Chains A and B, each alone.
Chain A
């Protein structure tokens, strides 16, 4: 079609008209989404300039004065801001721990589910394991506040019966980090098995049967058949997770944090919210957000290049 459109002369023009008369409605359908992306995704990118300007509410972003130090004033300020440095450290720490503990969890669960012989029980387990994914972080934090309450919570009551505790899960810094990571796994582990289980359906059952005939035990079968079947899925998901190592969700840390643990719970996204929207330091917060997204893109590109080096197809 494009070849026809490129060719000069009358026939192509009339063909183009036929093409238009048939397909103009498709462009009409696309018009609204295209406008949507322009207005809500591309247009706000202009406001990134605020990071390099002195924010001024009375004028448009183009007319604002440039910030000092060739416009990099707010970036320099950010890096001498104690709160930001803490947020940066916490973002990295929490994401690394998430990756370390949360990434293998669904792989292990998928392998276990794959070993489960009772079909009905497997279905029930899956349905229930997907449930936490559908709960908001507000609900989870509400449940966590009740479950982990030092005197009245279920967990500490149970621990009390065997003579442990009470443990302050949510108002002691290091315990809070552990709880944060645990709740993250709790919320996502079932849901994240979906993609691994889909990959496992691609493995022919004959392979398992042949291995069993050859006398391979359960662990040998997992190691030589199941895991290789998951390899490329694991690599692709690992890349995507590495790309997000400096990204930060907002709902989870915001809903779970409290004043007593703010030194470990403040991350970049909550920093941007509190300093930008709550205390109106728009330029500083935009600079921090921009720093974060640039690093994220670099990480994603780096991780992708790495994957291609390892012979996987990457994510593009």
Chain B
């Protein structure tokens, strides 16, 4: 194709636009990272912009020697793994039977499930339920109530629908039962979708915050986000105290930055590898949902 000169200029405008977008996305993270490894004097003098000044890992050692923080990181990691496994299992259990066109009552069950996407009881009715079920301050409250997402169920079901029915029929003729077909046919063929859903569930739990805020008063079970929220706010009050000279304001600044880094990095390490799959997943869910 032949391009005119103006079209070439347009191409470069587009490139510059995208480059700016990349900067706007990355610079905040770079700034926080630089603050986390800058010396406290540089931070007090407001010298840290994009690159670190007077590199020190004091903030990280401070955070890592704080047992409250490391415990919360470990607990959230365990919680994330447990939740992801349970949620994936529940999602498979829910979506697989619904692809059998001759399953009696399929329509009713389907409506029963999808309706919950549009009507929810609300914050307080849910809170009262947790109270009645004795789930308040119980670690299970961070696992069970959110263990199945209808949206994710629809994504997996669409992916199951994409597997040719003839494959299933021939397996049935060979005498394989539904469970056998699920394990040896549908699950292996849907690994990309399962990986995507695992990412969605894991990120959801890792970033989850409001359920712990509402249902959990026991500090030992605070997930990392709730602790981070408290640290950010407590440190703010520490900062006020430091103006009267109680402790080191620069260090508290870099500790804040370091805690943000700890909560961010695990996700940043995972999501790019699954990009191809989650794009497909989101698109499927949007079309069928």
Docked-complex contact A134 and B214, CB < 8 angstroms: no
Closest to B112 in A: A37
A233 CA to B177 CA in the complex, in Å? 40
Question: CB within 8 A of A139: which of B121, B177, B263?
Answer: B263
Docked-complex contact B283 and A194, CB < 8 angstroms: yes
A135 CA to B214 CA in the complex, in Å? 21
Q: Does A17 contact B (CB under 8 A)?
A: no
Q: Does A7 contact B (CB under 8 A)?
A: no
Q: Does B151 contact A (CB under 8 A)?
A: no
Q: Does A164 contact B (CB under 8 A)?
A: no
A156 CA to B122 CA in the complex, in Å? 40
- Count residues on chain B whose CB falls below 8 Å from chain A CBs: 88
Docked-complex contact A282 and B14, CB < 8 angstroms: no
A271 CA to B287 CA in the complex, in Å? 34
- Chain B contact residues: helix, strand, loop or mixed: helix
Q: How close is B74's CB to chain A, nearest CB, in angstroms? A: 18
CB neighbours (8 Å) of A25 from chain B are 177-179
Docked-complex contact B232 and A141, CB < 8 angstroms: yes
CB neighbours (8 Å) of A129 from chain B are 21-22, 25
Q: Does B275 contact A (CB under 8 A)?
A: yes
User: Among A80-88, A96-104, A248-256, which stretch is in contact with chain B?
Assistant: A248-256
CB neighbours (8 Å) of A48 from chain B are 121-122, 125
Docked-complex contact B26 and A44, CB < 8 angstroms: no
Docked-complex contact B125 and A286, CB < 8 angstroms: yes
CB neighbours (8 Å) of B178 from chain A are 22-23, 25-26, 29
A268 CA to B203 CA in the complex, in Å? 26
Known A-B contacts A26-B103, A45-B125, A147-B31; A36 and B148 likewise in contact (beta carbons under 8 Å): yes
Question: CB within 8 A of B17: which of A29, A112, A147?
Answer: A112
- Chain A contact residues: helix, strand, loop or mixed: helix
A143 CA to B125 CA in the complex, in Å? 33
CB neighbours (8 Å) of A217 from chain B are 6-7
A293 CA to B123 CA in the complex, in Å? 11
Docked-complex contact B17 and A23, CB < 8 angstroms: no
Docked-complex contact A115 and B27, CB < 8 angstroms: no
A132 CA to B147 CA in the complex, in Å? 24
Docked-complex contact B260 and A142, CB < 8 angstroms: yes
Q: Does A58 contact B (CB under 8 A)?
A: no
Q: Does A72 contact B (CB under 8 A)?
A: no
Q: Does A310 contact B (CB under 8 A)?
A: no
CB neighbours (8 Å) of B241 from chain A are none
Docked-complex contact B123 and A134, CB < 8 angstroms: no
Docked-complex contact A194 and B279, CB < 8 angstroms: yes
Known A-B contacts A113-B18, A127-B272, A152-B43; A143 and B6 likewise in contact (beta carbons under 8 Å): no
Question: CB within 8 A of A277: which of B123, B253, B260?
Answer: B123
Known contacts A30-B97, A139-B260, then 17 further A-B pairs from the complex at CB < 8 Å, ordered by chain A residue:
A26-B96, A33-B94, A37-B148, A40-B126, A44-B126, A124-B22, A128-B25, A138-B228, A146-B256, A154-B27, A154-B31, A158-B49, A194-B279, A212-B1, A255-B229, A277-B214, A289-B124
Contacts A/B (CB < 8 Å), 5 sampled: A191-B282, A217-B7, A254-B213, A273-B213, A293-B122
Which B residues are closer than 8 A to A by beta carbons? Answer: 1, 6-7, 10-11, 14-15, 17-18, 21-22, 24-29, 31-32, 35, 43, 46, 49-50, 90, 93-94, 96-98, 100, 102-104, 109, 112-113, 116, 118-129, 133, 144-145, 147-148, 177-179, 203, 206-210, 213-214, 225-226, 228-229, 232, 236, 253, 256-257, 259-260, 263-264, 267-268, 271-272, 275, 279, 282-283, 286
User: Closest 9 A-B residue pairs measured CB to CB?
Assistant: A136-B207, A47-B125, A289-B122, A33-B94, A44-B121, A26-B97, A44-B129, A41-B116, A198-B283
